[in-house]
Structure 1
Amino acid sequence: MSHSCCSGKSKPTQSEAHQHNSHCCDATASPHSHAEHDPHDSGHVHDASTEDDDPPRAPVSGNQRHSWQVSGMDCPSCARKIETAVGRLDGVSQARVLFATERLVVDAAPTLSPSVIMEAVGAAGFTLSGGPSRTASSATQSNWLRENAGIISLAAMMGLATLLGQVMPELGQWLFTLATLWGLWPVTRKAWQLARSGTPFAIETLMSVAAVGALYLGETAEAAMVLLLFMLGEKLESYAAGRARAGVTALMALVPERAIRVRDEQREEVEASELRPGDIIEVAPGARLPADAVLLDSLAAFDESALTGESIPVERRAGEKIAAGSLCVDRLIRLRVTSEPGHNAIDRILQLIEEAESKRAPIERFIDRFSRWYTPAMMLVALAVILIPPLALGADWETWTYRGLALLLIGCPCALVISTPAAVTSALAAATRQGALIKGGAALEQLAAIDMIAFDKTGTLTLGKPAVTDLEVLGSAEEATFLLTMAAAIETGSHHPLAQAVVSHATEQGITTAAAGEIRALPGMGVEGIIDGKRWSLLAPQHQQGLDEPTQARIQSLEQQGKTVIVLAREESPLALLALQDQLRSDARAALDELKALGIEGVMLTGDNPRAAAAIAGQLGLDYRASLLPADKVDAIAALSGQRAIAMVGDGINDAPAMKRARIGIAMGSGTDVALETADAALTTSQLHGLPAMIRLSRAALANIHQNIALALGLKAIFLVTSLLGLTGLWLAVLADTGATALVTANALRLLRKR
C-alpha cells in the first residue's frame, strides 16, 4: 500500500554479538562494529575514556586471538596483574581481562604458543581454563573445605598456640611462629610470583614485609593475626566479586546446552551450538529457548523476566520473535531459529557487559592511577618512619620499626582500590537484573548528573505501530462493520503500516475479511480493489473526489489531533472516514512523571509533522521540536547541551547521531543495531519505566562511591595518627585495613538490593 501520509521507521534487527571463543580466532575475521566517536564532542561519555579503558580491539592483521576463562581473581586489581604479566611477553599486542565475565582475551603473534601465555598467568598465581562456561559452577559446595583449608588450619594453629601459651608460654610462642610461617608461605609465594610478572608492589608484598618484620621483633602472635585477617579480607573480596558477578553468571546459565531439533517430523536432540538459522526446534513447557527464534504456533506465553525484568508472562503470537533464554510457560511449541551460534540476545547482553566493564568511571580511573604510585610511596614513608627517628633523634629502633610496620599495613590501598569498582559492579549487576544495561562506570557516573532527557517519538514514546482510532460513516445506510470488512479486504496482503493497522483492527473485531480481486496500489494516493463487481478504494483525503464541506471540516479536525485520515469509497462515492494514530506506550506518562519527580525535564525531538508532534506532546505535557532531520536533532541536542546535562533516548538509525552528541545516549531494547551500539546504556525491554529506575540506581551508586571513599580514607587517617603515636599495634592496623575493606564491600553490596 502506498499511503502518502505515513512513513515507517526501519525495522529493528537483532544486534550481532561477539562470540565467546575458547580457541584461536583468525585475525581476518570481521570485528564487531562500533560507532566512531566525535573527537570534538567533549561532553560525551566516550571521550572520558582513555585508551586503556577501551574494550578489546580487533586483532592486528597477522595476529591470532586467544580466549580463556580465568579463576582465582578476587577483585579488579587482580585483572590488572594478569594483564601486566601477559603484556610483558614478546609477541603479545593486546591483553585484556574482562572481570565481569572472568575472561582473558589475548592478541598475539602466531609464533607465540598459547601454552606460554598460560604459563605466564600461572606464574602470576592465577589459573586459565579452556573456554567460557554457560553454566554456574556446581563444584563450589564440594570444594569449600579445600578452598578454605589455609584459613582453617591457620586459625586452628593460632587457637592451639593460645591455649598452650597459657600453660607453657615458650611453647605457645614457638607455635605462633610456626603458624606465622605456615600462613606466610602462600602469601610470600604469591608476592614473588607477582613481582616476577611485573607487579612488585602488590598487597601480598606489604603483608609479607609486615609479617617478617613482626617475627623479627618477636611479635609472633601479631604476625599470625596479621596474616589471618589478611586471608579473611581476601575471602571477603572474593565473595563480593562473586556476588557482583552473580547476575552475569545467571545470564550465562539461561541458554540450555541441548535442544530438540525437528527435521522431516523427526525429533533429534542436538547441541545448541549446532543450531543454525532456519532450523525448526521444539521447546517443552518449563524449558528455555536455546536461540533467538520466531514462534510458529498461533499463541504461547513466555516468562522473559530474566532478560527484561518483567515478572508477568508475556503472550506471543505466530511470527513474533522470542529471545534466547526466555522460558516457555504453558505448552509444547515449535519455533524457527533466527540467530547464529554465539549471536543470540544473551550473547549480545554479555558483550555489552564486557564493554561496560572496559569503560570505567573517571573517579575509578583516577583511583587506579593513584594506587599505582601510592603503594610504593607508602613503603618509602614507612621506611622513613623506621630510619629517621633512630638515626636523627636517637630513638629506640624496635619501637619505630614496629610503628613503621604498622604504618605499612595501614597504607594498604585495598579498601580504597575496591571502593569504586565494588559499587560500580554491584550497580551494573543490579541494573542487568532489572532490564537495563549500563555500559560501564563512566556511563553510570554521567547518568547520575542528567537533568534533562530528549526523547525520540516513534518507537520510543509511542509503540511505532499505528492503530485505527475512529471509523465514521458518512451519511450512508451501510453499517460500520460492513464498511470495515470492505476496507480490510482491499488492504489484505499489504505490508504498509496503515494497511496492517486496518486489517488488525478488523481481526480484533472478529470480522471475516471479504474476498477482493484486482487489488492495485496507487502510488502516493492509496489502494483500490474489486469486491462483488464494485470498485472500492481507500485514498488520502486530497485524492478523494466528492467530499462535502462538513466532511472536510471533520477530516481537518481529526488531523489536528495528530491522526492520519483515509477515505473509504465505493465507485468513487465516499462512505466512511478511517482515522489512525500511533499509540502512546502505556507507561510513558507515568515514566515522565517519575522523571519529573527526580528533577529531570523532558523534550521530544521528532521528524514527524508539527500536528502529530503536538498531539503526542500535549498528552504527555512535553515541550517538543518537530519536522527534524537527523542533523537537526544533533543541532537541537547541541543547543540544549550548552545549558543542561542532557541524555538522548531513541531506537532508530536516525537517532544515533543525536545519541552520540548528547552527554549520554540511551537505546530502547527493540531499537536498531546502530542505536544500540551507539548508546551508552540500553533498556533490554522497551518499557520506559526503566529510565527513572536507571537514574535512581546511578545516583545511588555515585553516593555509594563517595561513602566508600570517605570510609576508606577516614579510617586510614585515624589509624595513621594512632599508629604514629604508638596507640595501635600491628593487628589493629591490619584490622583497620580489613575492616575498611569489609565496610566498603558491604556498603557496595547494598546496591544489589536496589529496586
Structure 2
Amino acid sequence: MKQQTYEVKGLSCAHCASKFERKLNQLDSIETAKVNFGASKIYVTGHPTIDELEKAGAFENLTVIAPKKKAVQPTVNTDEGRSDPQSWKEKAIAFYDEHYAICFATLLVILGYIARFTTGEHQFITITLFAASILISGMSLLKQGLKNLFQLEFDMHTLMTIAVIGGAIIGEWGEVAVVVILFALSEALESFTMNKARQSMEALVAIAPDVAYRFKGNEIEKVKVEEVQVGDILYIKPGQKIPLDGVISNGSSSINQSAITGESVPVDKTIGDDVFAGTLNENSVLEVRVTKIASETTLSKMIELVERAQVNQAPAQALIEKFARYYTPMIMLIALSVAVLPPLLGYGDSYTWFYQGLSVLVIGCPCALVIATPIAIISSISNAARHGVLVKGGIHLEQLSRVQAVAFDKTGTLTRGEPEVTHLEWAQSSQEDAELLSHVGAIEKMSNHPIARAIVAYLQSNAVVFEGKVKSFQSQTGEGVTATIQNNAYMIGKPQRFNLSAQPIWQETVSQLEMQGNTVILVSRNDSIVLLIALRDRVRAKSKWSCRQLMKMGLKHIEMLTGDNPQTAKSIANEVGVTHFKAQQLPENKMTRIATLQKKYSHVAMVGDGVNDAPALANATVGISMGAASTDTAIETADIAVLSDDITKIPYTFQLSRRTMRIIKMNILIAIGLKVTALLLVIPGWLTLWIAIFSDMGATLLVGLNALRLLYVKAE
C-alpha cells in the first residue's frame, strides 16, 4: 500500500500526539500510522477516510486535511510568490480571536474577586462569576477529562478535571477558576513554543517560488511550478529565485545558495553548472534547463527529510514518553494517598488533606516533561537545515553527541577534490610523444574518477587532441584502468600496480614526488613504463581549523582515510592537523577501519562524499556526507548530510548535537525538579493550588524557552 501524508490541525501536545497515534493504529482500515507532532502531520499506510481519521482524533477535536498539491497563492510580489507579513495590529487581533475565551474568563475572575470582597465568598453572584469563568476557559478541558474518566484513560486532562470537580465540591471556586485559566494559559504557552519551533522548519517551504517563467517557442509564459516538466527551459531574471533544480543552458551569474547549502558567499555559475530550487539569481539573466520536477528537487527532499526526521525519536525522547505512561497513574495514587492516609492516621482534618491531594493532582500534570525533548529536537533540526545540514532524526543528534572518534575521507572532504597536474616525466624512449598523450586522454576520458578528470582537463588545456578507438576498457576501483588502442596495451594507475623494483630510476622519482605530497600516476605501453604524471590536491582552507575545533571539543581520535600512498597521505595529514591517518585504503578497507575504531571508541563518525564512501558511512555510528546537494545518493546514504562543501559545518554539527543533549537533560531536570520541590511542600502542608499551577506553568515556560535557544546556535 502507498503511504499517504495528511496535515493535522489542532495537535496541541506531545501526549495527545501519542494518544492519536494509538487510536489510528487501532483502525481496521489502517495498516500502519505514524504521527509527526513537530510537523503536525500523519503518515498513513492503508485506505482510511477523512471521517475515520477525524473520529480517531475527536478527543482533541482534530481536523485532518487530505493530501493535495500546493496551489499558487495570491501575493503582492509575484516574482517571489510570497505575501507581506502581518502587521502587529493584525497579529494582536489574531491572538485575541484565538485566546478570547481566556481573556473573557480572566475578566470574570476579576469581577468574581471584586464580588467576593464586597458581597462575600459564598454569595450566589460570586460563585456564578467563578463558575462561568471555569466553564468558559475550561470547557474543552472538562469535556475531555470527563470522557477520559469514564473510559478510565488517565492523562493531564483527567488529573485537572478531578482537581476542578474536587475544588468545587469543597467550595474553593476562586482558586479553581484561577487554576483553570492558568492551565489554559500554560497550554497556550506550550502551543506558542511548539509553533515557534515549527515556524523555523516551515520557513523552508516558503523558500521556493510558486511560479516559473518558461519559454514557449519565442515567448515566455508564467506557469505554476507543478506544471513545469523535465527539459523545459526557464527564464530567470536578476533578483528572482530559481524555481526548480536544473542546469544553466545560457548565461552566467552569481547564485546565492545560502537558503539550501548555508553558504554565506554567492557562488559564480556558468553554462553547464547545476542550480537548485530556492536559490537566488543575483546579477544576470539565466536560462536554465530543468532536471527535476517540483516534487523531486533538492529543496523538496530537504523539506521531506526535515519533517520525517522528527519521527525518528532520540532515545531520551522515547524513554520520557514511555515514563509518562506510568507517571500519571502514579501521581493519582500519590494524590489519593495524600488526601486519605493522613486523616485516617489522625494527622490533621479531612478538608486540609483533601485540598493538598487536589494540589498534588494539579502539580502532577506532565506537560513540561513531555515537551522537554521534542521542542529541543525540532529546534535543533530546523536550525541545522537553515545552515545547510540535514539531520535525519533526533537519534543521530544524540549519537553524534557521544562520538569520540571521527574518520575523514581525504579527497573531496579535507581536500577540494580537484587535483591538478603538477609534473610530467617521460621515458627516454617516448620523449614528448604526442600520440601517447592523445591515447592517455582518450582512455582517461572514459573514467569519471577525479584524477582522470584532472588529467583530461590538463591535456585539453594544452591542446591535445584525443584520437584512437578505445577497446577493452576496464577500471579497477582505487587502482587504475587498462585499455587497448591501435593494438597497444595501456595500463594507467598507481605505482603499486607496477614492478618498480626492476626500474630503480622510476622508483626514486616516484618516491621524491610522493614525499612532496603529490599523487603519482604511471602509464605503461605494452608493459613498459613510458610516462609519469604527478598531481596534487589542494587542501580546503578551513580543514585545519575544523580539525582543531573538533580537538577542542574533546574528540580523542581524528583520522584521515585515503587511497593515496603513505608519503602523500603523511604530507596532507601534517598540513591538515589530523591525529592519525591510513593510506592506500580501498572502500572495503575504510569499512573495516571504521569497525576497528568502533571496538575502541564505541561511537565513531565517518565523514565522506556519500558515494565511494557509502560502506564506511553506513557502518559508522553516524555517517556524515559532504557536498550532498547535487547527489541524491549522498543524501540517502548518510545519517547527516552537509549540502555544501563547507567543512566548517562539521564542527558546527558536533557543537549543535552536544548543546542539544545538554538542553534536553537540563529540561528534564527543570521539569522534574520543580515538581519534586513543590511536592515536598505537602509534608509541612504548605502546598496550594496556586503554587501547584504556577510551578507547572513555570516549568512549561522554562522548558519551552530553553529549548528555543537551539534555534539561534550559529556556525562559526
TM norm. shorter chain > 0.5: yes
Code of the residue aligned with 1:662 in structure 2: it is A
Cross-structure match for 1:583:
538
Give the alignment of 1:671-750 within 5 angstroms: 673-750=632-709
2:561 to 583, 588, 605: 605
Q: 2:533 aligned with 1:595, yes or no?
A: no
Cross-structure match for 1:461:
414
Distance in 1 between residues matched to 2:451 and 2:348, nearest whole Å: 91
Change (3 A) 1:526 1:329: farther
Distance in 1 between residues matched to 2:385 and 2:620, nearest whole Å: 23
Partners of 1:122 and 1:128 within 8 A in 2: no
Distance in 2 between residues matched to 1:605 and 1:553, nearest whole Å: 25
Change (3 A) 1:352 1:195: farther
Code of the residue aligned with 1:186 in structure 2: it is S
Distance in 2 between residues matched to 1:145 and 1:745, nearest whole Å: 22
Cross-structure match for 1:131:
67
1:181 to 135, 145, 149: 135
Code of the residue aligned with 1:129 in structure 2: it is I
Cross-structure match for 1:254:
207
Partners of 1:648 and 1:659 within 8 A in 2: yes
Cross-structure match for 2:99:
148
Partners of 1:464 and 1:582 within 8 A in 2: yes
Partners of 1:66 and 1:114 within 8 A in 2: no
1:621 to 555, 558, 577: 577
Distance in 2 between residues matched to 1:193 and 1:268, nearest whole Å: 57
Q: Which moved more, 1:210-219 or 1:513-522?
A: 513-522
1:324-352 CA-partner distances (Å, limit 9, x unpaired): 21111112211111113311112211232
Deviation, structure 1 residue 123? 4.6
Deviation, structure 1 residue 101? 2.4
Partners of 1:528 and 1:538 within 8 A in 2: no
Partners of 1:665 and 1:679 within 8 A in 2: yes
Q: 2:254 aligned with 1:295, yes or no?
A: no
Change (3 A) 1:489 1:518: closer
1:416-443 CA-partner distances (Å, limit 9, x unpaired): 1111222222222222222222222221
Deviation, structure 1 residue 578? 5.3
Deviation, structure 1 residue 83? 1.1
Cross-structure match for 2:119:
168
Cross-structure match for 2:282:
329
Q: TM-score, normalised by structure 2?
A: 0.84
Partners of 1:445 and 1:698 within 8 A in 2: yes
2:519 to 527, 549, 563: 563
Distance in 2 between residues matched to 1:385 and 1:516, nearest whole Å: 90
What secondary structure is seen at the aligned counterpart in 2 of 1:245? helix
Give the alignment of 1:92-103 within 5 angstroms: 92-103=30-41
Cross-structure match for 2:623:
665
2:353 to 391, 394, 400: 400
Code of the residue aligned with 2:701 in structure 1: it is A
Cross-structure match for 2:77:
none
1:649 to 607, 621, 634: 607
Distance in 2 between residues matched to 1:731 and 1:387, nearest whole Å: 21
Cross-structure match for 1:45:
none
Code of the residue aligned with 1:115 in structure 2: it is D
Deviation, structure 1 residue 514? 7.1
Distance in 1 between residues matched to 2:149 and 2:35, nearest whole Å: 19
Distance in 2 between residues matched to 1:514 and 1:607, nearest whole Å: 29
Distance in 2 between residues matched to 1:131 and 1:743, nearest whole Å: 36
Distance in 1 between residues matched to 2:352 and 2:698, nearest whole Å: 25
1:210 to 163, 173, 188: 163
Partners of 2:542 and 2:647 within 8 A in 1: yes
Q: 2:372 aligned with 1:416, yes or no?
A: no
Deviation, structure 1 residue 86? 2.0
Change (3 A) 1:719 1:549: closer
Cross-structure match for 1:60:
none
Partners of 2:437 and 2:464 within 8 A in 1: no
Partners of 2:263 and 2:646 within 8 A in 1: no
Cross-structure match for 1:15:
none
Q: 2:25 aligned with 1:87, yes or no?
A: yes
Give the alignment of 1:183-332 within 5 angstroms: 183-192=137-146, 200-332=153-285
Change (3 A) 1:483 1:343: same
Q: TM-score, normalised by structure 1?
A: 0.80
Distance in 2 between residues matched to 1:113 and 1:470, nearest whole Å: 69
Change (3 A) 1:209 1:286: farther
Cross-structure match for 1:32:
none
Cross-structure match for 1:117:
53
Distance in 2 between residues matched to 1:556 and 1:429, nearest whole Å: 49
Cross-structure match for 1:59:
none
Change (3 A) 1:328 1:538: farther
Give the alignment of 1:472-511 within 5 angstroms: 491=441, 494=445, 496=447, 497-498=450-451, 500-502=453-455, 504=457
1:78 to 7, 10, 16: 16
Distance in 1 between residues matched to 2:470 and 2:341, nearest whole Å: 97
More RCO (CA 8 Å, sep 6+)? 1
Distance in 2 between residues matched to 1:615 and 1:324, nearest whole Å: 40
Cross-structure match for 1:21:
none
Change (3 A) 1:692 1:516: closer
Code of the residue aligned with 2:213 in structure 1: it is I
Code of the residue aligned with 1:214 in structure 2: it is G
Partners of 1:490 and 1:519 within 8 A in 2: no
Cross-structure match for 2:477:
none
1:565-598 CA-partner distances (Å, limit 9, x unpaired): 57899xx999x97532233233222111111111
Deviation, structure 1 residue 298? 4.1
Distance in 1 between residues matched to 2:467 and 2:634, nearest whole Å: 41
What secondary structure is seen at the aligned counterpart in 2 of 1:302? strand
Q: Determine what percentage of the aligned residue pairs are the same residue.
A: 34
1:269-291 CA-partner distances (Å, limit 9, x unpaired): 22211222212112222222222
Q: 2:109 aligned with 1:158, yes or no?
A: yes
Distance in 2 between residues matched to 1:119 and 1:448, nearest whole Å: 41
Change (3 A) 1:498 1:550: same
Deviation, structure 1 residue 223? 0.7
Partners of 1:457 and 1:606 within 8 A in 2: yes
Deviation, structure 1 residue 525? 7.1
1:514-571 CA-partner distances (Å, limit 9, x unpaired): 7676687896579999xxxxxxx9988999xxxx9988854542244332357899xx
Deviation, structure 1 residue 648? 1.3
Distance in 2 between residues matched to 1:642 and 1:500, nearest whole Å: 38
Cross-structure match for 1:632:
589
Q: Which moved more, 1:333-342 or 1:496-505?
A: 496-505
1:227-274 CA-partner distances (Å, limit 9, x unpaired): 111111111111111121223201111122211121323322222112
Cross-structure match for 1:434:
387
Deviation, structure 1 residue 312? 1.4
What secondary structure is seen at the aligned counterpart in 1 of 2:27? coil
Change (3 A) 1:539 1:690: closer
Change (3 A) 1:271 1:489: farther
Deviation, structure 1 residue 115? 2.5
Deviation, structure 1 residue 69? 0.9
Q: Which runs of 5+ in 2 are unaligned?
A: 74-81, 474-480
Partners of 1:403 and 1:729 within 8 A in 2: yes
Partners of 1:386 and 1:404 within 8 A in 2: yes
Cross-structure match for 1:355:
308
1:662-687 CA-partner distances (Å, limit 9, x unpaired): 22222224285455334222212222
What secondary structure is seen at the aligned counterpart in 2 of 1:101? coil
Change (3 A) 1:446 1:690: same
Change (3 A) 1:469 1:348: same
Change (3 A) 1:514 1:631: closer
Distance in 2 between residues matched to 1:193 and 1:342, nearest whole Å: 42
Q: Which runs of 5+ in 1 are unaligned?
A: 1-26, 30-64, 530-536
Partners of 1:81 and 1:194 within 8 A in 2: no
